[in-house]
Structure 1
Amino acid sequence: MQKIRPCLWFDHQAQEAAEFYVSVFGGDSRIVDTTRWTEGSPNAGSVLTVDFLLAGQEYIALNGGPEFTFSEAVSLSVDCGSQEEVDRFWDALTEGGEESVCGWLKDRYGMSWQIVPRVLPELLAGPDTARAGRVMKAMTGMRKLDVKALQEA
Structure 2
Amino acid sequence: MSQQITPYLWFDGQAEEAATYYVSVFDDGRILNVQRYGEGGPAPAGTAMIVELELNGQRFIALNGGPQHTFSEAVSFHVSCREQSEVDRLWKQLTADGGEPGQCGWLKDRWGLSWQIIPVALPEMLGDSDPERAGRVVRAMLGMQKIDIQGLRDAYDGRD
Please classify the TM superposition score into its range, dividing by the shorter chain length: over 0.9
User: Post-superposition shift, 1:55?
Assistant: 0.7
Q: Which amino acid aligns with 1:30?
A: R
Structure 1 runs, 4 residues or longer, greater than 3 Å off: none
Equivalent in the alignment of 1:99: 101
CA distance in 2, matches of 1:88, 1:45: 33
User: Post-superposition shift, 1:39?
Assistant: 3.0
User: Post-superposition shift, 1:76?
Assistant: 0.6
Aligned with residue 115 of structure 1, among 117, 135, 156: 117
Q: Which amino acid aligns with 2:150?
A: K
SS in 2 for 1:95: helix
Structure 1 stretch displaced more, 2-11 or 37-46: 37-46
Percentage of identical aligned residues: 57
After superposition, give the CA deviation of every residue in 1:91-149 in whole Å (9 maximum; x if it has no partner).
00010211111011111111011000010000000311111110000000001000001
Say whether 1:42 aligns with 2:42: yes
TM-score normalised according to structure 1 size: 0.96
Structure 1 stretch displaced more, 34-43 or 82-91: 34-43
How many residues get paired?
A: 152
SS in 2 for 1:113: strand
Q: Which amino acid aligns with 2:23?
A: V
CA distance in 2, matches of 1:41, 1:57: 29
Unpaired runs of at least 5, structure 1: none
TM-score normalised according to structure 2 size: 0.92
